[in-house]
Amino acid sequence: MEYRKFNKYDKPVSLFGIGCMRLPTIQTDSGSVVDEEKSIEMIRYGIDHGVNYIDTAYPYHNGESELIVGKALKDGYRDRTYLATKSPVWNVKKYEDMERYLNEQLKKLQTVCIDFYLLHALNKSRWDSLTKLNVLDFMEKAKASGKIKYICFSFHDDYNAFKEIIDAYDWDMCQIQMNIMDRDEQATVEGLKYAGEKNIPVVIMEPLKGGKLANNIPDEVKRIYGLAKTKRTPVEWAFRWLYNFPQVAVILSGVSSMEQLKDNLRIFENAKANCMDEEELALVEKVRQAYLKEVKIPCTGCEYCLPCPQGVSIPRIFDHVNSAFMYSSEKDSQNHYRQFLINNGTDASKCVECGQCESACPQNIPIIQKLKESHIFLTGQGDFPDD
């Protein structure tokens, strides 16, 4: 197992961290539930083979994840690991809520101290709200009392919001989404390096983009990877691109099976920073471009089209369409569209064709027409037309 030493931490941290958001599940009469026995077996197997970073959060698996992690870390395993979990900040309405959730999480995890306590999924709006509630005062008091060891946050927004948050405090760690396709999205590679300049270690989530970079690999991507002198799987290439960055402290992998866990352990046996030469970096960029060629709508996510007067989530809708074709994930895109947009009343059917978005779009996308086509496709009523 490869470890990285950062001055902020007591001991070196394993570059591979087990993420407990996608634990193995079983089907019961009441639906899908976590396979507790297998999950505990996998977490302990990982620790026995060198993993010392376990990541969970309050909402994972409908609250089951923290309970299972707490059980897995009994019998001496807690003393061998860094334990990370996250405060459900979207539920925090007053200062006292922060203390209540922390105490609940300590109880569920069966521990007196959480090593890495993260403000979960910060964006500009949540950060502003938490700042008004004196969240950093709470975190410092929790640290002084011994309930947490390191003050951290996870992040989902753009680079400007990331820079504002990272500059606001001397954080012990931050967690960002990063993979070969999200190089210029969310916190961005620029943000990763900026955190490094401030001596703030970075934990990576979604290294395989929710499995999209591991499954249903397009033939052209397979062909490009096949040109490499050293043959590696797409999963290996995705992890390699990330651990090449010396600013990265941990790469989380949400393993769902023992097979995945063992493969990850193999990949991280000798995962060195600055290991990629120019030829390898160029190959990964070719892969990235091959995925981007499948884009159907040239939306850059700049959000100049927002806010929509009707609340339509225009960039998100277009992202679902593009993801369906880039990663052969039509069903996933349709399910997410229904669950997160139609159910929330922000889907394309709410468009009244006012045209405000089109006049603001720097890419000159015919947004009204593309919204109609997107809705037909994402609701399974027809194919998305080729231009």
Residue 182 sits in a domain of what CATH number?
3.20.20.100
* Region 215-234 average pLDDT: 94
The answer to whether residues 299 and 260 belong to one domain is no
| pLDDT in the model for residue 38 | 97
Q: What percent of the chain has pLDDT over 70?
A: 100
Query: In a 10 Å sphere around its CB, with 0-12 CB exposed, 13-18 middle and 19+ buried, how is residue 189 labelled?
Result: middle
Mean confidence (pLDDT) of the chain:
95
Total domain count, the chain: 2
Q: Is the pLDDT score of 31 beyond 80?
A: no
The answer to whether residues 146 and 227 belong to one domain is yes
What 3-state DSSP class applies to 170? coil
Q: Among 250, 270, 286, identify where a domain stops.
A: 286
* Region 143-149 average pLDDT: 98
pLDDT one-digit tens code per residue, 35-86: 999 999 999 999 999 999 999 999 999 999 999 999 999 999 999 999 999 9
Confidence band of 303 (pLDDT split at 50, 70, 90): confident
The answer to whether residues 104 and 149 belong to one domain is yes
| pLDDT in the model for residue 246 | 96
Q: Is the pLDDT score of 257 beyond 80?
A: yes
Q: Is the pLDDT score of 362 beyond 90?
A: no
Q: Is the pLDDT score of 30 beyond 80?
A: no
The answer to whether residues 325 and 208 belong to one domain is no
Domain span at residue 13?
3-286
Of 173, 325, 363, residue with least CA distance to 249 = 173
Query: Which amino acid belongs to residue 321?
Result: V
The answer to whether residues 305 and 269 belong to one domain is no
| pLDDT in the model for residue 7 | 83
The answer to whether residues 258 and 300 belong to one domain is no
Distances (CA, A) of 111 to 97, 108, 277, 344: 20, 8, 43, 37
Q: Are 66 and 58 in contact (CB under 8 A)?
A: yes
Q: Is the pLDDT score of 300 beyond 90?
A: no
Residue matched to tokens 């993260």: 118
The pair of structure tokens assigned to 321 is: 């369409």
CA dihedral 184, 190, 193, 198 (to 10 degrees): -130
Q: Are 95 and 133 in contact (CB under 8 A)?
A: yes
| pLDDT in the model for residue 29 | 78
pTM: 0.89
Of 179, 124, 178, 123, residue with least CA distance to 156 = 123
The answer to whether residues 211 and 116 belong to one domain is yes
* Region 346-367 average pLDDT: 95
Confidence band of 6 (pLDDT split at 50, 70, 90): confident
138-147 burial, b for 16+ CB within 10 Å, e for fewer? Answer: bbeebbeeeb
pLDDT one-digit tens code per residue, 181-205: 999 989 999 999 999 999 999 999 9
C-alpha of 234 from chain center: 18
Partners of 33 in the beta sheet?
Answer: 26
Q: Among 264, 286, 308, identify where a domain stops.
A: 286
Q: Which helix (H) or strand (E) holds 83?
A: strand 82-87
Of 233, 210, 211, 230, residue with least CA distance to 221 = 233
Confidence band of 316 (pLDDT split at 50, 70, 90): very high
The answer to whether residues 141 and 256 belong to one domain is yes
Q: Among 228, 258, 286, identify where a domain stops.
A: 286
The answer to whether residues 57 and 16 belong to one domain is yes
The answer to whether residues 306 and 279 belong to one domain is no
Q: How far apart are CA 338 and CA 342, in angstroms?
A: 5
